[in-house]
Structure 1
């Protein structure tokens, strides 16, 4: 497993990942957050009231074959998939507010390249189906 990045390295890598994904016709970026509870070594040690947070970002690529993508059971020999991009950082409890401020800015800037979802088509189908059923 790759070591965790510093905050600045994480933000620059996240910006690159969001830009690359928005330039493609399709793609996803998964952002996860998890409390990082460190095991205690001493019996008398008390866990901190606010644990560190593990922040991860990954793209949608996976090395597992998609069974729907090809007729030969999902094994495609002609096309090799790009490796999955995984980045992570650990944020201490006292740095959370400043980190989340910058994190929100990077995420908002990365979302500017996304296309707005077309909801009219779905509503028209539901409305037409309801009228036919009556």
Structure 2
């Protein structure tokens, strides 16, 4: 397991990951956080434990069964999964989350809004047919 990054390095890597993903036609960035309880090296106070923040791209390195080649063989993707993480002490949480929100909002500028018009039309038409029958 790779050691956790410092906060400055984490933010620069996160901004880079978000910009790379938004430039692609498709992609995901998964952000998770969890408290570190009874972990050596993590400082805890009686009120709040340290927080582990993780970010990864949506690449699972697993073959996609829908992308099978013509002869039926599944080809495995060559790209590797990107994983970054950092540990935040309770006294640094407020400053961390302020900067974290700025980086996440900045990385979402390339996203486009989902088109939900087709889904609404299907539900309205389906409900109307059910009541008439």
Q: State the TM bucket, normalised to the shorter chain.
A: 0.7 to 0.9
TM-score (norm 1): 0.86
Provide the aligned C-alpha RMSD in A: 1.8
Seen in structure 2, the aligned counterparts of structure 1 residues 69 and 104 have a Cα distance that, compared at 3 Å, is same
Cα distance, 1:14 vs. partner? Answer: 0.3
Cα distance, 1:68 vs. partner? Answer: 2.4
SS of equivalent residue, structure 1 residue 25: coil
TM-score (norm 2): 0.87
Cα distance, 1:33 vs. partner? Answer: 0.3
Question: Bigger shift: 112-121 or 60-69?
Answer: 60-69
Q: Which runs of 5+ in 2 are unaligned?
A: none
Q: Which runs of 5+ in 1 are unaligned?
A: 41-45
Structural mapping, 1:39-54, within 5 Å: 39=39, 48-54=46-52
Mapped partners of 2:8, 2:98: distance in 1: 13
Which residue of 83, 86, 90 maps to 1:89? 86
1:116 is matched with 113
Residue 88 (structure 2) pairs with residue 76 (structure 1): no
Count of aligned positions: 126
